[in-house]
Amino acid sequence: MNKEFVDALSQVAHERGVTAEELISNFEEALRLAYLRQKGFRQKEVEEEGKGPIVEVHLDTQEGNLEVLEIKRVVETVEDPDKEIDLATAQKYDPEVAVGEEMEFPVDPEEFSRIAVQIAKQVLTQRLKEAERTRVHNEYKDKEGEVVTGSVARVDNRGNVYVELGRGEALMPPKEQIPTERYHPGQRVKVYLKQVQRSAKGPSLVVSRANEELLRYLLRQEVPEIAEGIVEVKAVAREPGSRSKVAVMSHNPNVDPIGACIGHKGQRIQAVSAELGRERVDIIQWSPNPKEFIRNALSPATVGEILIEPATTEDGKNRATVVVAKDQHSLAIGKAGQNVRLASKLTGYEIDFEEAEEITDLDAAILKAAEKEEGVKVSQDAKSRFESLFKEGE
């Protein structure tokens, strides 16, 4: 061994992303296990059963000198010749040694056979991989639940997409992908780091573009009012690549939460949609009143009276029955039931519809429903004012 060898180890450590001290420690451990293997002891026997001699390996990083030592305890009667030496024999090496003391016996590194060197190489490679896995796990464990940017490394024949995140490679299974997107090597993508786990093959990183948190992140990026806490995203419901509904509220009465999210000429919401493969994103007003929240969630359909049913003890689900006119029924349900499905997910209520006869004045029906919800009788004069205001708005 020489100083050049130590420098080479330091270079390998830099390339592998581990510290030189960590690599040298792994190198010393690899040589120790290789020496024991040469003596006929397997790693399991040494680590779990305590068999074999006590061996220490030291690499001097300043001079590059390698020292291999066998440690034996001086005893009156030898019971384990691999770890003990009798007093009479020990005193031949050191006349002043006493029972209970330890003696170090240097081993010439040249005694390492070619097989032992190969074993040391294998052990070192394994330890390096373990060190890299630990480092990757520690690096990304703190980022779990965040949105990161990576590039597509490859796509296998089962549809799994592998995303390179720098030092680690993440898996994006088909269920975490946006169905309308097609991925190709080198493509830059924003992904939600959903899961970081340790496994026998190394850290397991699972990322998603279908998760609702990705939509929340993009809204924070595009809407300053959300990033500053003025506008709050209260609930999100997604059908990735197709349509989403987002419920928002404002903590400032002078800020319109829907207008803030949509932006001038729709620029903000269009930027979010573009990042999600042109997924349609509906922004609605959140309300603490569940009836009003359900009404808003079912937009663009206009509905009438809403009846909230108490949760049953059997399934614990919240249910609501919504009265809807015939010409609004299909719009409330949406294509393939998408509108009501998203509204149900957004509000937490299972929604059933009750079709009424054609309502000629839907606004009057809304007003009547509001009266019933609030328990307040609105006067005929108030109704007239409401109608006149509505006409002015037209």
Q: Determine the pLDDT at residue 244.
A: 97
Using alpha carbons only, give the angle 327, 288, 209 rounded to the nearest 5 degrees.
75
User: Is residue 383's pLDDT more than 50?
Assistant: no
User: Is residue 108's pLDDT more than 90?
Assistant: no
What domains does the chain contain, in order, with CATH numbers? 3-133 (3.30.1480.10), 143-209 (2.40.50.140), 213-374 (3.30.300.20)
Summarised one tens digit per residue, pLDDT across range 269-307 is 999 999 999 999 999 999 999 999 999 999 999 999 999
3-state SS string over the chain? CCHHHHHHHHHHHHHHCCCHHHHHHHHHHHHHHHHHHHCCCCHHHHHHHCCCCEEEEEECCCCCCEEEEEEEEEECCCCCCCCEEEHHHHHHHCCCCCCCCEEEEEECHHHCCHHHHHHHHHHHHHHHHHHHHHHHHHHHHCCCCCEEEEEEEEECCCCCEEEECCCCEEEECHHHCCCCCCCCCCCEEEEEEEEEEEECCEEEEEEECCCHHHHHHHHHHHCHHHHCCCEEEEEEEEECCCEEEEEEEECCCCCCHHHHHHCHHHHHHHHHHHHCCCCEEEEEECCCCHHHHHHHHCCCCCCCCEEEECCCCCCCCEEEEEEEEHHHHHHHHCHHHHHHHHHHHHHCEEEEEEEECCCCCHHHHHHHHHHHHHCCCCCHHHHHHHHHHHHHHC
Tokens representing 133? 């896995």
User: Is residue 360's pLDDT more than 50?
Assistant: no
Summarised one tens digit per residue, pLDDT across range 149-186 is 999 999 999 999 999 998 789 999 999 999 999 999 99
* Euclidean distance between CA atoms 19 and 64, whole angstroms: 17
Report the DSSP beta bridge partners of residue 355: 324
Summarised one tens digit per residue, pLDDT across range 143-159 is 999 999 999 999 999 99
In the chain, % of residues over pLDDT 90: 55
- Under the banding of pLDDT at 50, 70 and 90, the label for residue 19 is confident
Residue in the block written with tokens 């005929």: 380
* Euclidean distance between CA atoms 59 and 170, whole angstroms: 37
Summarised one tens digit per residue, pLDDT across range 314-349 is 667 889 999 999 999 999 999 999 999 999 999 999
Q: Is residue 346 exposed (0-12), middle (13-18) or buried (19+ Cβ within 10 Å)? A: buried
Q: Determine the pLDDT at residue 29.
A: 83
The verdict on whether omega for the bond into residue 240 sits within 30 degrees of 0, i.e. cis, is no
Residue in the block written with tokens 């030092």: 167
What is the chain's length? 394
pLDDT averaged over the chain? 84
